[in-house]
Structure 1
């Protein structure tokens, strides 16, 4: 085992377990910036880490059954149960990501490495002991929610009054939102939103938080994370054109009111299309986030391959957010109950993506 020391300023002790000795050196150098790093082969992961490490970073070939079993034997032991673990993905392929979450990943990072992004992940997943990280996380969280809220104000208060919403309005917000989720946590995001927002704002902020966390859990490239986050933030833009009396009605909606609500995807799509400048995938999400794979959704009754991946992702986080929210006519469902209900939706949702969402949904 090799110990890389950063000196007395180190706030963490990290374990880097690797079966890629020829490729993990660059990662070790990045990790040194935030703590002391012990490196080891996966075959030599210590049996009793408790109290010794703030977290473990695992860099293995996730397609190797031997490597996976070796790590699983260690990390599934009781001694590692509470130790955060960050996995390195060699690429963005679905198999590697799913294998990492099956091994209990707290978070994932991907090659090629972005040093600043990795440091943010480490600070979030493996907190230091001097309180400075907590203050930084709180600041990032507040800035992220404020940025998202500012976009929602433009949507729900200014757009109906004829003030255009520009794509540039969303770009800065998405950066702050992703930074907030990385530096704090989805749980913190949901708690803060729940304390300070209600009705349509709360739902949009919940969906946005879940989408950002889901994208990060899947190990998406930064650009793809931003695409999903911005789409989630604007998915309900059409509700700006639905009467507030219907949106905030303290009870169940009548059939006529339900039909009015069902107009919001088309209204939002047409508004953004008319203004121009919004990417096609964002327009796709705005128009189709209520479509279901069996063709029973709206407004176009799409089915199967007619529904894009980014829409499938947004639909999952949209439904989960709606189920865990408190409504005037029912108490909120727990995260576990919501996820079980979505599993029962069977061929209406992409079940492979839903299972990938499990650690996000149940980790709250």
Structure 2
């Protein structure tokens, strides 16, 4: 179960992870920081000083962004009356004071969630939730200056492969769109499209995993881009566009010193915005310089032009991924 932990003190994060993981997957968000909310988690857990008005306002902003999460668990040590009242005013569904109570309450929520799924209540698929959690873990690591755990990317990719192999691409797209938005939605969609294309065109298992991993990691550089740019609703101005165009190189630099990241994957991350005519970025590569894997990752970026939702099939065959032109 995914727990989105919101706090005003970075020092609280390791203790919460030690207490809850691996049973629960903890995604931390520091109030006032630049963390990306992954939405929706199963539980929002808050441990902050509710006597400070700035913390209260920042919590309201987080809740506004993640308003679809029903369970809101607040930790108020010593049950300070004013803080308990403030927690309920913010929409707390439970207020606890001791670590043991946190674990018990989360276990109760987990049991209720499983029961609702058994009764057929709609919700995000486990594969979508787990993949989103892995993406969140990677983005959080980058934003906090820590090394990326490649196991997160490999796990996310395996979950996408399993889901699409069992249920198909249309179900994946519907689930991701219903429960996620923004950068995480884009990453989940592109990875799903890459995996589906590989499966549907008969790639061998290792090749499916390789293309899926490249798609999973292709936008990791965006974790270093300000949210004001990533989430801007309108058109980016020239300076913002220039900043955004740096994300392939940023991603490449984040991954190049990780031993298990192959040169092929690094190539996909750095060059997924290159075009055959040399008009892409960051290196202005032309057709002979663009590898097959790069072409396929770039192709999935413009996947909407290649997929028929009505028929659930690709509008072009295996050769379609060999052509990378500017999207219309």
Tell me the C-alpha RMSD between the 2 structures.
Answer: 3.2
- Whether the 8 Å contact between 1:212 and 1:228 is mirrored in structure 2 is yes
Q: Give distance in 1, aligned partners of 2:284 and 2:230.
A: 23
Report the counterpart of residue 222 of structure 1 in structure 2: 205
Report the counterpart of residue 262 of structure 2 in structure 1: 279
Q: Displacement of 1:156 after TM fit?
A: 2.1
Taking a change above 3 Å as real, the CA distance of residues 351 and 261 of structure 1, as seen in their structure-2 partners, is farther
Q: Give distance in 2, aligned partners of 1:354 and 1:172.
A: 25
Q: Which of 229, 241, 258 is the aligned partner of 1:246?
A: 229
5+ residue gaps, structure 2, are: 1-117
5+ residue gaps, structure 1, are: 1-134, 325-332, 337-341, 344-349, 358-364
CA deviations over 1:62-93 (Å, ceiling 9, x no partner): xxxxxxxxxxxxxxxxxxxxxxxxxxxxxxxx
- Whether the 8 Å contact between 2:270 and 2:282 is mirrored in structure 1 is yes
Q: Displacement of 1:260 after TM fit?
A: 0.5
Task: Calculate the TM-score normalised by the size of structure 2.
Answer: 0.56
Task: Calculate the TM-score normalised by the size of structure 1.
Answer: 0.50
Report the counterpart of residue 132 of structure 1 in structure 2: none
Q: Which of 266, 278, 293 is the aligned partner of 1:310?
A: 293
- Whether the 8 Å contact between 1:207 and 1:318 is mirrored in structure 2 is yes
Report the counterpart of residue 180 of structure 2 in structure 1: 197
Q: Which of 111, 114, 127 is the aligned partner of 1:144?
A: 127
Q: Give distance in 2, aligned partners of 1:239 and 1:355.
A: 26
Tell me if 1:179 matches 2:146: no
Give the alignment of 1:254-269 within 5 angstroms: 254-269=237-252
Report the counterpart of residue 167 of structure 1 in structure 2: 150
SS at match of 2:266: helix
- Whether the 8 Å contact between 1:239 and 1:264 is mirrored in structure 2 is yes
Deviating 4+ runs (over 3 angstroms)? 333-336, 354-357
Q: Displacement of 1:212 after TM fit?
A: 0.6
Q: Give distance in 1, aligned partners of 2:279 and 2:144.
A: 34
Taking a change above 3 Å as real, the CA distance of residues 308 and 356 of structure 1, as seen in their structure-2 partners, is closer
Tell me if 1:290 matches 2:257: no
Q: Give distance in 2, aligned partners of 1:215 and 1:351.
A: 9
CA deviations over 1:287-334 (Å, ceiling 9, x no partner): 00000011110000011121010110111111225x79xxxxxxxx99
Q: Give distance in 2, aligned partners of 1:224 and 1:351.
A: 14
Give the alignment of 1:1-364 within 5 angstroms: 142-320=125-303, 352-354=319-321
- Whether the 8 Å contact between 1:143 and 1:180 is mirrored in structure 2 is no
Q: Give distance in 1, aligned partners of 2:137 and 2:158.
A: 18
Q: Displacement of 1:171 after TM fit?
A: 2.3
